[in-house]
A and B are shown apart, each in its own frame.
Chain A
Amino acid sequence: MNVTVKADINELDNVLEIIRDYLDSKSVSEKFKLGLEIALEEIFTNIINYSYEIGSDDNKIEIIYNFKDNPSRIVIKIIDKGTQFNPLKHKDPDTTLNANDRDIGGLGIFLVKKNINNIDYEFKDNQNILTIEKILDF
């Protein structure tokens, strides 16, 4: 299954609804859905902010989503044609610092990693391809 949308934050709700509908055939928990939504939101906003630095209607994000077995999981590929940007090279924030010493940014990709089971990045045919996997919890 796949869907291509404009790289625009207003498209995010549509994408989340499509994934929610797709998950409806499996009885996953609400917590599973919310965790996946966080991951998708953070990846989506990263592409808009860092990969496509200049806004244009031609900027697109393709999402390919499928269930796979052993273990039962959802696999989602998020593909853009923007600047090469590997979010996994981002250093994780130090979550042990006190409030005053903590940087207010850098939590996005960290939250992606915390809410899924596997993440992989490749740059191929001038495309950023990020693949995330989350094991179903039903």
Chain B
Amino acid sequence: MDIEKNVEGKKIVVKVSGRLDTKSSPELNDALKNDLPNVSELIFDFEGLNYISSSGLRIILSTQKLMNKQGTMVIKNVNEFIMEVFDATGFTDILTIE
């Protein structure tokens, strides 16, 4: 998994590519935790993301819960397979996917 962060003031764009699985999910958690307290606009770019398991979903959900309190969170460029996982778990209803 690769993580690329771009911070501009209170806005952060996080590009995640590869596999968001049990092994790599803690890395994403670590990459987000220092920046998120100061952010009011979070954009995830999942263009390069091709696999996600429940450990990745947990981070997305906990991040969504946090952002509901302090701003907005948008997920962009979700591929067909990831979208099916979001659909199956009801995540499409609680996330903002563009």
CA distance A31 to B79 in the complex (A): 11
Q: Are A111 and B88 in contact (CB under 8 A)?
A: yes
Closest-CB distance, B58 to chain A (whole angstroms): 5
Answer whether residue A9 sits at the interface, using C-beta atoms and an 8 A cutoff.
Answer: yes
Which parts of A2-25 form the interface with B (CB within 8 Å)? Answer: 9-10, 12
Q: Are A114 and B64 in contact (CB under 8 A)?
A: no
Q: Are A99 and B22 in contact (CB under 8 A)?
A: no
Interface range, B side: 20 to 34
Chain A residues whose CB sits within 8 angstroms of the CB of B80 once the complex forms: 31
Q: Are A41 and B21 in contact (CB under 8 A)?
A: yes
Q: Are A111 and B94 in contact (CB under 8 A)?
A: no
Q: Are A104 and B90 in contact (CB under 8 A)?
A: no
Main secondary structure of the interface of A (DSSP, over half): helix
Which of A34, A45, A96, A110 is B22 in contact with, Cβ under 8 Å? A45
Chain A residues whose CB sits within 8 angstroms of the CB of B62 once the complex forms: 104
Closest-CB distance, B34 to chain A (whole angstroms): 20
Chain B residues whose CB sits within 8 angstroms of the CB of A110 once the complex forms: 54, 89
Q: Are A104 and B23 in contact (CB under 8 A)?
A: no
Q: Are A34 and B55 in contact (CB under 8 A)?
A: no
Q: Are A108 and B54 in contact (CB under 8 A)?
A: yes
Chain A residues whose CB sits within 8 angstroms of the CB of B58 once the complex forms: 104-105, 107
Answer whether residue A100 sits at the interface, using C-beta atoms and an 8 A cutoff.
Answer: yes
Which of A12, A38, A93, A108 is B23 in contact with, Cβ under 8 Å? A12
Chain B residues whose CB sits within 8 angstroms of the CB of A31 once the complex forms: 80-81, 84
Q: Are A100 and B68 in contact (CB under 8 A)?
A: yes
Q: Which residues of B contact A (CB under 8 A)?
A: 21-23, 50-51, 53-55, 57-58, 61-62, 64-65, 68, 80-81, 84-85, 88-90, 93-95
Which 9 A/B pairs are nearest by Cβ-Cβ distance? A95-B90, A99-B94, A107-B54, A108-B54, A114-B88, A104-B58, A99-B64, A41-B53, A104-B61
